[in-house]
Amino acid sequence: MRVVSTCIRGLLLCAFLSTGYGCGREGTSGLTGWHGASSEEKPHTRYPIVLLHGFFGWQQVFHIDYFYQVPKHLRKLGYHVTATQVTPINRVTVRAAQLAPQIDKILKETGAEKVNLIAHSMGGLDGRYLISAMGYGDRVASLTTIATPHSGSLVADAIIGAVDAGAEVKAAARAIVQGTHHLIKHELTVPDIGPVDLNGALNDLSTKYATETFAAMTPDDSRVYYQSWSGSATFRHRFKPDIFDPIVAVAHKFIEKTQGANDGLVSTASALHGVDRGVVPGDHLDEIGQLLGRAPEGFEHKAFYQGIVEDLAARGY
């Protein structure tokens, strides 16, 4: 238990200091693999790009982006990109309420009528709530979610005791909770972290809440284009394993037994919302280029996001 707790604490601290299946799967003809467009013409989207971070996420800490080096990469290509910051550990309602004025500011400063939201993990739930429950459907052109637990996460279920996950997973779950509290109280100094509600956040990420309550609160808005990517990791023959692997491998095996392919925290099935755009070959942190750009061989996270925005531009968003 002490070893697991230490690993979790190390993972979370490093993250800060070093820092779907839907309406039928659509082909990725608008993308060019993980390598972006080869055209020399500078691409552009009709609306600004807004990046939404996930649970325990951040905008930028010590000049390290949550979406590692993605904003700078896209700006160099001519896109207008803004990374937002909401309280990392709280309920979706709280996070979305903090997100709303940031969207308003972006619209005012750019003169744009709408924005394109690109969200990782819990950020996708923030986006859905903003659009549906807070009435921003007229100001959001598209919502792209990456490994968002639209149908909940079994890891959250295990932490709150909603499922019998076995001793190993329970130990890892307890370590996550203990490590998170420890970092918040003793080791982590991040400005504007905001209010903390760990139990509320885990409730919002649980399967029961996501499927029975949240879904009813956030029906899709017909004015918004919804698309999703999922993640699928393997820890059997990892190339250049990172600190995330030992801990998430436990959760990955647990989720795989009941839900199949997953990224260590969210199953590919749960990540589905709207048009299914495909599967990222990596774990939950690989999807955003963490830690510090390490990723499975053959996957380039910056080119992945470049492909997403190029596709949005091609679709007129």
Instruction: Output the domain CATH number for residue 295.
Output: 3.40.50.1820
- Asked if residue 240 has pLDDT above 60, the reply is no
Question: Active-site residue among 157, 245, 263, 276?
Answer: 263
284 is catalytic: yes
- Asked if residue 292 has pLDDT above 60, the reply is no
- Asked if residue 209 has pLDDT above 90, the reply is yes
Q: In terms of pLDDT, which residue wins out, 201 or 5?
A: 201
Range with the poorest average pLDDT among 153-157, 186-190, 201-205: 186-190
Confidence grade of residue 242 (pLDDT, cut at 50, 70, 90): low
The residue range of the domain holding 208 is 2-314
Confidence grade of residue 144 (pLDDT, cut at 50, 70, 90): very high
Confidence grade of residue 19 (pLDDT, cut at 50, 70, 90): very low
The torsion angles phi and psi of 115, rounded to 5 degrees, stand at -130, 160
End-to-end CA distance of the chain: 48
User: How many domains is the chain built from?
Assistant: 1
**In whole numbers, what is the pLDDT of the chain averaged over residues?**
81
Question: Active-site residue among 73, 273, 284, 301?
Answer: 284
204 is catalytic: no
Bridge partners (DSSP) listed for residue 115: 140
- Asked if residue 165 has pLDDT above 80, the reply is no
CA distance 126 to 136: 12
CA distance 233 to 279: 10
Do residues 129 and 218 make contact, with C-beta atoms less than 8 angstroms apart? yes
Q: In terms of pLDDT, which residue wins out, 187 or 311?
A: 311
User: SS3 string of the chain?
Assistant: CHHHHHHHHHHHHHHHHCCCCCCCECCCCCCCCCCCCCCCCCCCCCCCEEEECCCCCCCEECCEECCCCHHHHHHHCCCCEEECCCCCCCCHHHHHHHHHHHHHHHHHHHCCCCEEEEEECCHHHHHHHHHHCCCCCCCEEEEEEECCCCCCCHHHHHHHCCCCCCHHHHHHHHHHHHHHHHHHHHHCCCCCCCCCCHHHHHHHHCHHHHHHHHHHHCCCCCCCEEEEEEECCCCCCCCCCCCHHHHHHHHHHHHHHHHCCECCCCECCCCCCCEEEEEECCCCCHHHCCCCCCCCCCCCHHHHHHHHHHHHHHCCC
The 10s digit of each residue's pLDDT in 35-66 is 444 445 556 899 999 999 999 776 554 457 88
121 is catalytic: yes
CA distance 90 to 95: 7
Question: Active-site residue among 121, 132, 142, 228?
Answer: 121
This prediction has a pTM of: 0.82
